[in-house]
Amino acid sequence: MGRVQRVVAKANQKVTVQIAAVLLSSATLISFMFGFLRIRLLNAKYFEAYPEGLDAYVAAFKVPDFMFFILVSGALSVTFIPVFNKRIATGNKKSAWELSSSMINFMAFSTLIASILIIIFAEPIMHLIAPKLGESTMALAVSMMRVIAVNPFLFAIATVIASMQQAVGRFAFFTLAPVIYNIGIVIGILWFTNGITIFGWEIFEGGIMGVALGVVLGSILQLLISTLGLLGLGFDYDFKIYWKNKGFRQVLRLLPPRSIDQGMDYIVGIVETNIASRFRAGTLTAYDQALTLHMAPINLIGVAISTAAFPQMTERLSQGRPDLFKSELQTVIRVIIWLTLPVTAITFFTRGYVVDIIKPGGEALIAGVLGALTIAIFFRSIYFISARSFYAQQDTKTPLYISIFSIGLNIILAIWLAIYLDMGAYGLACSQSIVAFLEVMILFAVMSIRIPGLFGLSFWPSIWRMFIATVGMALVTYILVRLMPLSLSDDRFFESFPKLFVIAVVSLGSYVLFSRLLRLKEANPVIAAALRIFFGKPKKKGKTQL
């Protein structure tokens, strides 16, 4: 046991922001690969044969996810981490452990109540969020929601534990947890849907309800792997809520604005579910899967980099170094923009190839909706670091006020475009992209006032050069798509994925070269790494920026 603890502690060592970003992006990529696998398996099994079942599966997640997002999720991480970090930085571990124990117990109790309420009121809730589902689909969605209702409770405990590890710069088990969650769901699709038999006794007859059981299995496995990451941290857990702990009271004061922000943002998803349920069977599933695809680059770039940078940003302010906070924030924003621009363009031109990854033979509706969401990919990636710049300053109210405006506008646009202009799922996607753009522009305007000099004279010309490099790359991408089109035979993963891979690699390579020609310093580390990998060329010492 001691050896296991030593191995775990070694794996859970503190890492730099750069390594943390790579770990998070890599783990997110692996998680998305399993996520895409689970969607592909679901589509292969049910998209054509039982689209109503997939609609029920999608609808069943909405309220449990809503309760998790409003009570825990990002709300906890951005409020808990700065307060926890301050106590660790000053050596007050006793207060830090009391704060952590209090948050685990408080969140567990709150989400347990929420889970019980979801189980009791699942039927009227489902009639509210997806009123146009058929009778049998509605009954299935209610049953699946009652099974998945345990998720907020399990996720809440895992999130507090993961936030502790994230706060002190330890990301190994924090990054593994989502991967394990998706593996649990894949197990549900592959085995539980065929029934569960133990010692000759059939305890579950199978069907799509087995996917819901896989979700619960994934949640339990995620909690276990997150808990394993506590070994070596010296955490002293106590089954008690320390109401007098100043840090705990401070988190509780900071939590409501961010929780409301998170919850209101997720209300858009519930409204979209209500709207999508009014169209033909499968529309709700198609829109949800397009959203999942558009979230992949956002999580790989925007969320991963912002999550890795956030603890150090809060640490800079705790050290009384707003100058370092500003310079590092500007660097992170530039890197996110430089990475997201080409990915957005590639996603737009290769959306048919991308959809073929999760739906054998592709699906025109998913591809079309994904195309309309590409603008949202770019601006949502920037949004996360922009919002975290306020959270690092322990200001949760400003992003909330901006979100209230954005969410209200999103709902109005969704209803107008999808229903009154009869654009259907395309209207929902267009409203997402419009609001994502406006939200980031407002955040940037406030940030420029709050942090003078953040967007200095050198910032915007660099962004313009990134845009020019993207236009050049987009031309290369378009030519490659024309040269390697999807054919009617491209109905299997191993026929379409190689084409997507070649297009993406060549396009990104051209983007790096265009960036180098335009003297963008973000390209230098990529080129240096490529030279070392392919030619064994040592890294140059001295000045690295052009």
Strand partners, 52: none
Q: What percentage of residues in the chain have a pLDDT greater than 90?
A: 47
Whole-angstrom Cα distance, residue 60 to residue 289? Answer: 15
- At 374, the pLDDT band (50, 70, 90 cuts) reads very high
pLDDT given for residue 253 in this prediction: 84
Q: Which comes out higher in pLDDT, residue 19 or 145?
A: 145
Average pLDDT over residues 531-536: 66
Average pLDDT over residues 294-309: 87
Average pLDDT over residues 484-509: 83
pLDDT given for residue 18 in this prediction: 66
Least-confidence region, from 125-129, 155-159, 341-345, 521-525: 521-525
Residues 6+ apart with CB under 8 A from 214: 184, 185, 186, 187, 188, 189, 192
pLDDT given for residue 534 in this prediction: 64
- At 357, the pLDDT band (50, 70, 90 cuts) reads confident
**CA-closest candidate to residue 263, choices 73, 393, 443:** 73
Helix axes 364-372, 374-391, angle to 10 degrees: 50
Average pLDDT over residues 302-331: 82
- At 441-480, the pLDDT tens digits run 999 999 999 888 888 777 899 999 999 999 999 999 999 9
pLDDT at position 538 over 60: no
- At 545, the pLDDT band (50, 70, 90 cuts) reads very low
pLDDT given for residue 58 in this prediction: 92
Look over the chain and give the mean of its residue pLDDT values, rounded to a whole number.
86
Handedness of CA 121, 122, 124, 125 (dihedral sign): positive
Classify residue 408 as exposed, middle or buried by CB count within 10 Å of its CB (0-12, 13-18, 19+).
Answer: middle
Strand partners, 196: 204
Residue 396 to residues 298, 352, 357: CA-CA distances in angstroms? 22, 39, 38
pLDDT given for residue 219 in this prediction: 93
pLDDT given for residue 122 in this prediction: 95
pLDDT at position 31 over 50: yes
Strand partners, 197: 202
Whole-angstrom Cα distance, residue 329 to residue 306? Answer: 10
Residue 109 to residues 114, 116, 459: CA-CA distances in angstroms? 9, 11, 47
Q: Which letter does DSSP use for residue 451 in this model?
A: S
pLDDT given for residue 362 in this prediction: 84
Average pLDDT over residues 406-425: 94
Q: What is the pTM of this model?
A: 0.80
pLDDT given for residue 120 in this prediction: 96
Question: What does the block give as tokens for 365?
Answer: 């509706």
Q: What does the buried/exposed string (b/e) look like for 454-464 if buried means 16 or more CB atoms within 10 Å of the residue's CB?
A: bbeeebeebee
Question: Do residues 172 and 11 make contact, with C-beta atoms less than 8 angstroms apart?
Answer: yes
Question: Do residues 85 and 315 make contact, with C-beta atoms less than 8 angstroms apart?
Answer: yes
- At 36-72, the pLDDT tens digits run 888 999 998 898 889 999 999 999 988 888 888 777 6
- At 276, the pLDDT band (50, 70, 90 cuts) reads very high
Classify residue 409 as exposed, middle or buried by CB count within 10 Å of its CB (0-12, 13-18, 19+).
Answer: middle
Quickly tell me which residue has 């030619």 as its tokens: 535
Least-confidence region, from 24-38, 45-59, 73-87, 358-372: 73-87
Average pLDDT over residues 126-140: 92
How many angstroms separate the most distant Cα atoms in the chain? 73
Which contacts qualify for 134-138: CB closer than 8 Å, 24 or more apart? 134/52, 134/281, 136/52, 137/52, 137/53, 137/55, 137/56, 137/281, 138/56
Average pLDDT over residues 208-230: 90
Q: Which comes out higher in pLDDT, residue 530 or 428?
A: 428
Average pLDDT over residues 208-222: 93
pLDDT given for residue 544 in this prediction: 38
